[in-house]
Amino acid sequence: NAGVTQTPKFRILKIGQSMTLQCAQDMNHNYMYWYRQDPGMGLKLIYYSVGAGITDKGEVPNGYNVSRSTTEDFPLRLELAAPSQTSVYFCASSTTRTGGYQETQYFGPGTRLLVL
């Protein structure tokens, strides 16, 4: 059971380039999330998904896109990378109990992105 895995671990992008950050989980969780964390700050929610085929915006969605074609995978797409997108990106997953209470979120190790 690998939990939540993210690739790549580190990437340098030039301004205007695009890339996809990969996230996969093997816990059969229905909820998945993408967060970004800037230096010295807490995590901010970019996008989330409550199940395959369903995604919604979080707090800071501009400049990003997501898709959720399977339960396991939740890739994050950066189009036209900008220096403001330099950050550490964390993917997480969770499930819910009957009654709506959210279970623990499990986080991946993160992808460090530098846009120059």
Q: Given the rule CB under 8 A, which residues bind other proteins?
A: 4, 31, 35, 40-45, 48, 50, 58, 90, 92, 94, 96, 99-102, 104-110
CB closer to other proteins out of 63 and 109: 109
CB closer to other proteins out of 3 and 83: 3
Neighbours of 10 (CB within 10 A): 10
CA 16 to chain centre: 20
CB closer to other proteins out of 59 and 79: 59
Cβ 65 to other proteins, closest distance in Å? 19
